[in-house]
């Protein structure tokens, strides 16, 4: 039954399913875990990089992206698709500054990206983007985080997870998350959740973690290994 209706992203099955879009969501579930959350002063992004070889340079693996000084993003899924969407997002942010002389609103940008994703589910000969994004930022003191899915759907959260074992990560966030968290507490929480979401037989390496944050007076900033060591200790 599936094979008769999964040859085009535009073909609905009798049960009202778009299989190609669902397949795109499956590849997102294979990506390493990424978490974004709102803390007391800003937005925190944390993710685990997939380091598959000792010869690989960790800094060459992209999981966290700067879109503008006040907006950042995490990706899970196909990195090439993520780079394409991030490039578009950066262009939209720059255009908004040129045309209106003000920084783009986070929600406006997220809806633009989600609309592009949706278009790729509606026309024959185009495949859906195999990537989910957590996009977060600050506008006029308001802290906001959104998740966009391959289907073009979006939702706003206080804290969100994407990638492998997302369901378990969300359950842990629901139990442990608090908007009054400090930056340091947020980093510890994300680290603990990524560690707890490891499957049996998988190893946890703190050196594969990457963090970045945005605050009202602080542009998108990635934390160094030295910063993480001072926060997480040994």
pLDDT in 10s for each residue of the chain, 234 residues: 556 677 777 788 888 888 888 999 999 999 999 999 999 999 999 999 988 788 888 788 889 999 999 999 999 999 999 999 999 999 999 999 999 999 999 999 999 999 999 999 988 788 899 999 999 999 989 999 999 999 999 999 999 999 999 999 999 999 999 999 999 999 999 999 999 999 888 888 888 999 999 999 999 999 998 999 899 885
Find residue 35's DSSP bridge partners: 46, 161
Find the angle CA(33)-CA(182)-CA(93) to the nearest 5 degrees. Answer: 65
Residue 1: what pLDDT? 53
Residue 232: what pLDDT? 87
| Domains annotated on the chain, with CATH | 32-47+57-229 (3.60.20.10)
SS3 of the chain: CHHHCCCCCCCCCCCCCCHHHHHHHHHHHCCCCEEEEECCCEEEEEEECCCCCCCCCHHHCCCEEEEECCEEEEEEECHHHHHHHHHHHHHHHHHHHHHHCCCCCHHHHHHHHHHHHHHCCCCCCCCCCCEEEEEEEEECCEEEEEEECCCCCEEEECEEEECCCHHHHHHHHHHHCCCCCCHHHHHHHHHHHHHHCCCCCCCCCHHHEEEEEEECCCCCEECCHHHHHHHHCC
pTM of the model: 0.93
Tokens representing residue 203 in the block: 């190893």
Strands 209-215 and 159-162: unpaired
Give which of 60, 109, 103, 119 is closest to 88, Cα–Cα.
109
Cβ contacts of 78 within 8 Å, gap of 6 or more: 27, 129, 130, 131
Measured in degrees and rounded to the nearest 5, phi and psi for residue 129 equal -70, 125
Residue 3: what pLDDT? 63
- 16-42 core/surface letters (b: 16 or more CB in 10 A; e: else): eebbbbeebeebbeebbbbbbbbbebb
Residue 182: what pLDDT? 96
Give which of 190, 183, 148, 224 is closest to 43, Cα–Cα.
183
């Amino acid at each position: 039954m599936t094979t008769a209706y999964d040859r085009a992203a535009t073909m609905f099955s009798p049960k009202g399913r778009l299989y190609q879009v669902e397949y795109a969501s499956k590849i997102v579930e294979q990506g390493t875990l990424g978490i974004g959350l709102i803390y007391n002063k800003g937005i925190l992004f944390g993710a685990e990089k997939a380091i598959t070889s000792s010869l690989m340079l960790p800094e060459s693996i992209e999981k966290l992206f700067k879109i503008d000084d006040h907006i950042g993003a995490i990706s899970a899924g196909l990195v090439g698709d993520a780079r394409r969407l991030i490039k578009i997002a950066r262009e939209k942010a720059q255009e908004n500054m040129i045309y209106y002389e003000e920084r783009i609103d986070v929600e406006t940008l997220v809806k633009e990206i989600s609309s592009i994703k949706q278009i790729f589910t509606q026309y024959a000969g185009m495949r859906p983007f195999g990537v989910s994004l957590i996009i977060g930022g600050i506008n006029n003191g308001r802290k906001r985080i959104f998740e966009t899915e391959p289907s073009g759907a979006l939702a706003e959260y206080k804290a969100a997870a994407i990638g492998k074992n997302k369901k378990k990560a969300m359950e842990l966030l629901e139990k442990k998350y608090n908007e009054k968290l400090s930056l340091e507490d947020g980093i510890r929480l994300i680290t603990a959740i990524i560690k707890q979401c490891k499957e049996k037989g998988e190893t946890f390496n703190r050196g594969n973690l990457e963090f970045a944050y945005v605050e009202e007076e602080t542009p998108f900033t990635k934390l160094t290994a030295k910063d993480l060591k001072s926060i997480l200790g040994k």
